[in-house]
Amino acid sequence: MFKKLLGFERNLLKTHPVGTSIFLLALLAACGFAAWGRFQPLPVKDWNTTQMKKLPKTAGEKIDFAIVGDSKNDSGTLGVILADIAKDPNTRFILTLGDLVAKGDLNHYAAVFRQLKRQAHVPVFLCTGNHELTHGGTRNYPAVAGPLYYSFQVGSTAIIVLDDASRGRLDQDQLDWLQNTLSGYQNLDNRIVVMHVPPFDPRNPGDGHAMDEKKADALMSILKKGHVTQIFASHIHGYFHGQWEGIPYWISGGAGARLAGDDPNHYFFHYLQVKADGPHVTAKVIRLHVGSGIGWGRIPYEAKRWLRNWAYFKHVSLALIIALIALLAIHLSALRAWNSSRRSARP
């Protein structure tokens, strides 16, 4: 059997040298692309620290910034948001709320940072989402992002970014850090806390899209004692606004990830424009004119978005699939010709 197969392959090399060579090169290329995706250099290093250096050195009490949550590598929707933000000269920076990528491998990070470098004209700050930590993200994300929880001050506003998506969410070390950090910002007008997973789910408590009750209670106790003025979170792919134990909150997960429902009051693509004027903070919802419709009416947009994202990250694989299908056809044709010639050669 092996001798017959070897004879077939030798015959194929003689009769289809170009096609067979392309086939072998395609296999080598596939291995090379897979290795590149795994071992390519980091697209950026210590991003958050680098962005802090770009913040305005002096700032008054009025601060405008944008909130973007859950884009998950949807370059189309994120592109619309970044282009819209760029039109406002008053926006000082952008806060992302996690799940900026769909997977934590280097290919997905490289894609999103290429887009941020190309379209974002103000500092962009990262927040740890659960998708940042998948597919090797537990190794890649800390190297790319830098500190997983951190804070900075702009004017009379403090921004405190938490990591509540990693394993062991909000461990005691981070809670101690949060308490000490808040105590250092008590002289400011605003202490804004940013996280990915909300303490509570405003839709249906206990469905897995919020912290467990003990963690949430421990966090809220610290936030109240630290006089936190606003909370921004995402993880739920939609928009919600209300109060948690007297603290205003916004859930904003509408930057491109598949929406979690059909209610037009909550599930639509959007981002937030936040204005802090002294102790007065307002958040304006900017609805995007993409993905309109509910239920079945949204299918054309979702299909287009899925195909665009798949082709963006799998274009090499797609090309290889097409090449392999074509080469398989050549292979089968050669096999039929070889079998036919063997039958005709028999006495």
Span 156-203, pLDDT tens digits: 999 999 999 987 678 999 999 999 999 999 999 999 999 999 999 999
C-alpha dihedral, 243 to 294 to 287 to 314, nearest 10°: 110
pLDDT digits (tens, 9 = 90+) for 203-260: 976 567 899 889 999 999 999 999 999 999 999 999 999 999 999 999 999 999 989 9
Instruction: Assign 72 to helix, strand or coil.
Output: coil
The total of other beta-carbon atoms located within 10 Å of residue 23's CB is 19
Which fold, 47-290?
Answer: Purple Acid Phosphatase; chain A, domain 2 (3.60.21)
Position 303 confidence tier, pLDDT thresholds 50, 70, 90: confident
Cβ contacts of 166 within 8 Å, gap of 6 or more: 128, 133, 138, 148
Please provide the DSSP assignment of 88-113 as one string: -TTEEEEEE-S--SSS-SHHHHHHHH
Tell me what pLDDT residue 289 has.
82
Tell me what pLDDT residue 61 has.
76
* Widest CA span in the chain: 101
pLDDT of 329 over the 80 cut: no
| Annotated domain spans of the chain | 2-39+317-345, 47-290
Residue type, 299: I
- Name the average pLDDT for the chain: 85
Q: Which residue has the higher pLDDT, 68 or 290?
A: 68
Tell me what pLDDT residue 25 has.
66
Tell me what pLDDT residue 30 has.
63
**Which value, in Å, is the radius of gyration of the alpha carbons in the chain?**
26
How many angstroms separate the CA atoms of 164 and 216, rounded? 10
How many angstroms separate the CA atoms of 179 and 195, rounded? 15
- Here the tokens at position 71 are 């884009």
pLDDT of 153 over the 80 cut: yes
- Here the tokens at position 107 are 């290919």
Q: Say if residue 229 is exposed, middle or buried (CB neighbours under 10 Å; 0-12, 13-18, 19+).
A: buried
The total of other beta-carbon atoms located within 10 Å of residue 297's CB is 11
Position 269 confidence tier, pLDDT thresholds 50, 70, 90: very high
Q: What mean pLDDT do residues 15-33 have? A: 64
List beta partners, residue 153.
Answer: 158
How many angstroms separate the CA atoms of 115 and 124, rounded? 12
pLDDT digits (tens, 9 = 90+) for 65-118: 999 999 998 888 999 999 999 999 999 999 999 999 999 988 889 999 999 999
Q: What mean pLDDT do residues 18-37 have? A: 63
- Here the tokens at position 4 are 């017959």
Strand arrangement, sheet containing 239-244: 150-154, 157-161, 190-194, 230-233, 247-252, 239-244
